[in-house]
Structure 1
Amino acid sequence: MIKGLHHISAFTKSAKTNHYFYTVVLGLRFVKSTVNQENISIRHLFYGDYQGNPGTLLTFFELKRAGRSYNETNYFSTITLKIPKGTLSYWKTRLAHFSIESHVDLENQRLFFKDPDQMELSLIEVDDIILTENATKHSDIPQSNQIIDIFEAELTVKRPDETLSFLKTFLGLTPTNQHSQLKDTQQSALTFVGSNKKSSLSRMGRGSIDHIAYTVSSAKELEELYQKAVHHHIIIEQYIERGYFKSLYVKEPNGLRIEIATETPGFTLDEPIEALGNKLALPIFLENKRAVIEAQLEDFQ
């Protein structure tokens, strides 16, 4: 049922700095400029491949007063993105060109670095290359070197066995041959669950990941998961129509937020594919508030 990851959402202190890093440095496309539907004063930025496909999407809520984050007990940690085989040295050189420190883990062949909000990222080589129709066009990064999609999301929790059980029994993810690592039905993305026995509480701030979202094909499958959550008394935060997709938000046993989102209708609902991200886009149910929203959001591009 779960086809892979849909998106990962985090907090940024500056939309302008965030936009530069993800579109210029990493070469992702800015696919949607919108707002937090629960708080329309907060800008919501989406980045991904050229078509804004699920599984490629990193999204950020701009919190201008966000303080430092403290990852102590239960939190989402490193996001790993796929790059083509043989391009790790290219990316290390590129990051250095932009004065971004990085280091290579030779054992796992990953390049680790941080974004401007100190969110942990890594790149891993895979036997693949981004499809021509998905390759971004604005960037100086050759198609043969471009980021493909999300490889792995990582959760660090106090009781990992409970989280692993939740991911297997509720979402239907299956173990890989690596300890504490799970895969979806299409094996397009992985989820890793690490252990942390600290007693101090984590504090959300800039660079914190708010939630990770998995993909299902249809609203029918999402409804089945909703009914399953109700039946098993899983904490449900929201079951809601987002316009670009429909979402179910639940809490896993350690309290981290997990979203399940539909694959469709997608970001071309209100913008043609060639114009994605060019304007402030709002779902139909927020159009009547456009004037208010535009008045309170500063231009950042």
Structure 2
Amino acid sequence: MTRNGIHHVTAIAGKARQNLEFYTRTLGLRLVKKTVNFDDPGAYHLYYGDAAGSPGTILTFFPWENAAPGRAGTGELQETVFRVPQASLGYWTQRLVNHGVQRTGRLGETLLAFRDPDGMHLALVGLPGIEAEPAWENGEIPAEHAIRGFHGVSLLVGDAAPTGAILSDVFGFAAAGREGETHRFQVPGMALGGIVDLRVAAGAAPARLGRGSVHHLAFRAADDAAEMDMVRRLAENHGIHTTEQKDRNYFRSVYFREPGHVLFEIATDVPGFAVDEAPAALGQALKLPGFLEGHRVAIESALPALG
């Protein structure tokens, strides 16, 4: 079975301009695609990642300015962790202080936890030996300190076993240890987005989606055939049926609720973000799917200014 890790994480933000400023300037990610929510074209869908928008680096947002704050709880992704060179944690600690970013008290030798302006939980983990990996340089953050994609994510669930079974059987993760009520699952040999931690909080209140919440977690499928094999495994081995495949222009997706109630997506690696823009121009123009192109003038007039 092909083993694949995280494709992307999609969350809910408030003000689009504030979101863009934080992720491109403060954290130094590249805006790789500026489009709209295909189901709500009055709102942006902003994609951030590495230079190419590689799977395993992509964090996306639906900025809904009037969204109420979310409430943490079970059935939701609780923390998204990025990779940086271990020697860069001092740089990042000072940078976040200088930018007034709220840290959340989990500062250790290898991990720095903080929140974005909408309250989304993030962390940077310092890893040795990744200094030579490619990095996007935004003009403010030197490439030597830049973020190198996802390390992993943590989910809050009532019971680790059924979710762990999906991770293992469908996505190729393997149990990689336990510390207290946290169960780690990891894709062997995968550096980018290869870790999912399941934090068990039996009896805790369910999450309430809102500003600062994660909407869904997407896992990689190399292509349509690989995706359909995962769909088959879900149905035959776990009694779970996905949505029909949806064309998101840059990948093709199916969705389902896993047993812990987190919304999972399976997204193909193909065709990628350069399908409608040159690699050097990623994120510069507002891109619309064909079925919305005829409404471009109305959509552009309704969207808030980003610059």
The reply to whether TM is greater than 0.5 is: yes
Tell me if structure 2 keeps the 8 A contact 1:24–1:139: no
1:241 Cα deviation after fit:
1.5
**Conserved? CA contact 1:6–1:54, under 8 Å:** yes
Give the CA deviation at 1:136.
Answer: 2.1
Q: Distance in 2 between matches of 1:200 and 1:65?
A: 24
Which AA in structure 2 matches 1:197? A
1:29-108 matched pairs, under 5 angstroms: 29-102=30-103, 103-106=105-108
Picking from 197, 204, 210, the partner of 2:209 is 204
Q: Compared with structure 1, are the counterparts of its residues 130 and 4 closer, same or farther at alpha carbon in structure 2 (3 Å cutoff)?
A: farther
Extract structure 1 runs of 4+ deviating beyond 6 A.
none
Go from structure 1 to structure 2 and tell me whether the alpha carbon gap of 1:52 and 1:199 turns closer, same or farther (over 3 Å shift). Answer: closer
CA contact (8 A) 2:137 2:146 kept: no
Aligned length: 299
Say if 2:176 and 2:184, in contact at 8 Å, map to a contact too: yes
> For structure 1, which segment, 71-80 or 17-26, has the greater mean C-alpha deviation from structure 2 after superposition?
71-80
Where does 1:228-267 land on structure 2 (aligned, <5 Å)?
Answer: 228-231=233-236, 232-267=238-273
2:130 is aligned with 1:129: yes
For residues 135 and 52 of structure 1, the distance between their equivalents in structure 2, rounded to whole angstroms, comes to 12
Alignment-derived partner of residue 216 in structure 1: 221
The alpha carbon displacement at 1:178 in A equals 4.3
Q: SS of the counterpart of 1:41?
A: strand
* Structure 2: runs of 5+ lacking an equivalent: none
Cα 1:283/1:191, change in 2 over 3 Å = same
Offset, 1:119: 0.6
Q: Distance in 2 between matches of 1:195 and 1:178?
A: 11
CA contact (8 A) 1:250 1:258 kept: yes
Alignment partners' CA distance in 1, 2:159 and 2:111:
26
Alpha carbons 1:119, 1:207 under 8 Å: kept: yes
SS of the residue aligned with 1:243?
coil
Distance in 2 (alpha carbons) for counterparts of 1:158 and 1:67: 25
Paired letter, 1:136: W
Q: Identity over aligned residues, as a percent?
A: 32
CA distance in 2 between counterparts of 1:213 and 1:159 reads 20
Instruction: After TM superposition, list the pairs within 5 Å mapping 1:9-28 onto structure 2.
Output: 9-28=10-29
**CA RMSD, Structure 1 to Structure 2 (Å):** 1.8
Q: TM-score, normalised by structure 2?
A: 0.92
Q: Distance in 2 between matches of 1:265 and 1:185?
A: 25
Per-residue CA deviation, residues 123-166 of structure 1 (Å, 9 max, x unaligned), is 1111243667x422333111111000100111001122221122
**Offset at 1:11?**
0.2
Which shows bigger deviation, 209-218 or 228-237?
228-237
- Between 28-37 and 175-184, the greater mean CA deviation after superposition: 175-184
Counting only pairs closer than 5 Å after superposition, residues 151-190 of structure 1 correspond to structure 2 as 151-179=151-179, 180-188=183-191, 189-190=194-195
Do the aligned partners of 1:8 and 1:59 also contact (CA within 8 Å) in 2?
Answer: yes
Which secondary structure state, in structure 1, belongs to the residue aligned with residue 32 of structure 2?
strand
